[in-house]
């Protein structure tokens, strides 16, 4: 049995395969192995790390034992319902299986879909975009004023606090821009300029 815990490099609580993990939580099973493999997301710290039972604290060992017991209690997916006509009782009261239980047929549309990996990929892509498109990283205050229509020395700081990335500027509503001090005739031009900057980056 292989055990995993949250990578200590990741500060906050994370969710993997529907399980919330803090620094003490221990999980086990093959479904977590992909999140401990550096090849899954090259260049990004793994979400989980494998931990040896002997290296755990007593509390973690207790949690690991509970996890293993829970995992072992789950029947194999191939095990179907065993019916009485599949058994033969001998005079010595021995029970022999006459035929193996039929494998359950799972229709294509009924197969469970594991979106955990897709959600993680989308989250990582979103984090990458946030860092790549960050206004403070891309523009000094002066450049920000010079680049975007409707941005003035009076409202530049307000806009940079309200909108952290180019993507947020593209999605900005008229009411929010007005509240930040942008005049209505600049709303569309400001959003178009933000989109143009994104297109140049990509």
Neighbours of 112 (CB within 10 A): 7
The per-residue pLDDT for range 12-32, each reduced to its tens digit, is 888 888 888 887 888 888 888
Query: Rounded distance, CA 23 to CA 104, Å?
Result: 38
From the CB of residue 147, how many other CB atoms can be counted at a distance below 10 Å?
16
Q: Is residue 107 part of a domain?
A: no
Q: Residues 6 or more apart from 132 whose CB is under 8 A from it?
A: 201
* Residue range 74-130, pLDDT digits in tens: 555 444 555 555 555 555 545 555 566 677 766 655 444 455 567 666 755 665 555
List the end-to-end C-alpha distance of the chain, in Å, as a whole number. Answer: 44
Instruction: Count structural domains, the chain.
Output: 2
**Token pair belonging to 77:** 């997916």
Residue 122 counted as domain residue? no
Task: Output DSSP code: residue 165.
Answer: B
Residue 105 lies in a domain: no
What domain range includes position 145?
Answer: 132-201
Model pTM score: 0.38
């Amino acid at each position: 049995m292989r055990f995993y815990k949250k990578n200590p490099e990741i500060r906050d609580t994370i969710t993997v395969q529907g399980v919330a993990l803090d620094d003490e939580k221990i999980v086990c099973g093959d479904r977590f192995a992909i999140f401990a493999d550096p090849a899954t997301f090259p260049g990004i710290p793994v979400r989980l790390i494998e931990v040896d039972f002997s290296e755990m604290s007593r509390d973690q060992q207790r949690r690991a034992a509970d996890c293993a017991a829970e995992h072992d209690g789950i029947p194999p997916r191939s095990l179907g319902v065993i019916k009485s006509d599949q058994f033969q009782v001998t005079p010595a009261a021995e029970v022999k299986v006459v035929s193996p239980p039929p494998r359950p047929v799972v229709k294509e549309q009924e197969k469970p879909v594991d979106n955990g990996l897709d959600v993680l990929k989308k989250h990582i892509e979103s984090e990458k975009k946030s860092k790549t498109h960050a206004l403070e990283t891309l523009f000094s205050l002066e450049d920000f004023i010079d680049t975007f229509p409707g941005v003035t020395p009076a409202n530049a700081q307000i806009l940079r606090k309200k909108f952290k990335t180019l993507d947020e500027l593209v999605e900005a509503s008229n009411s929010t821009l007005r509240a930040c001090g942008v005049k209505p005739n600049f709303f569309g031009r400001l959003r178009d300029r933000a989109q143009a900057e994104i297109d140049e980056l990509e």
